[in-house]
Chain A
Amino acid sequence: MSWQVTSSRLAWAVGTVLGADDLAGCNIDALVQGGHLAPVVKQDPAPKVDGPRRKMKVQPEPAGDDSAEEPEEQE
């Protein structure tokens, strides 16, 4: 969770994003209610949109012609 500074009355500049560690000892709820901080809402990464599926090029299977491979001659 993180909060952005929204008032000039805090020790940090307006716009600074702070974590819970930075605000240790502070009454964060009161600071939010007082308009000094605003919770930073994490935006979820955009969902993956499935594009038009490309047709996989299907490689022609080698012809199942046994004659293509000549059996090794056994002596």
Chain B
Amino acid sequence: MARIVLTDVGVVLGGVDLSDHVASVEISQNYDEVETTAFGDGGRTRVAGLEDSSLSLSFHQDFATSEVEATIGPLVGGTASFEIAPFGTAVAAAGTAPRYSGTVLVTEWTALNGAVGDLSTADVTWPVVGQIAKGTGA
């Protein structure tokens, strides 16, 4: 697969496709670092612990019916499923096109943010509940 320029990332949150109101996305997969060093080891040894991942999104705010505020607002304080498709949700992705899915805890929401003349945006980072699954195809 060639290098890619992101132009059509699919972002589905709680079953709702908000791709056309998202300007950036970051899936951050992290694992706790658990030290296992014992006597006799010449250096520190480690294993991966629990996954502690997060999803960051930058939304363009929209207060219209069924748009961003109406969709995210009711999710705050609860969990929501997510699916991120780097090549768009509508693409019958060929073979290796990845899709990331999981559940996030919607811990924060900035309904209104910006100065005079700015585009109203909402940048969030939500912790993942459990693990991120990586699949392929449509």
Contact = CB atoms under 8 A, between A and B. Distances in A.
Interface string A30-43: 11011110000000
B16 A34 contact: yes
Q: Which size class do B's interface residues fall under?
A: 10 to 19
Given A9-B17, A10-B15, A11-B15, A33 B66 contact: no
B17 A30 contact: no
**Interface of B, helix, strand, loop or mixed by DSSP:** mixed
Interface string A18-39: 0000010111011101111000
Given A27-B80, A34-B71, A9 B66 contact: yes
B71 A9 contact: yes
B74 interface: yes
Given A25-B81, A27-B78, A35 B70 contact: yes
A7 interface: yes
Interface of B: 12, 14-18, 65-66, 70-71, 73-75, 78-81
The 8 nearest A-B residue pairs measured at CB: A30-B74, A7-B66, A35-B66, A33-B74, A34-B70, A34-B71, A26-B15, A35-B65
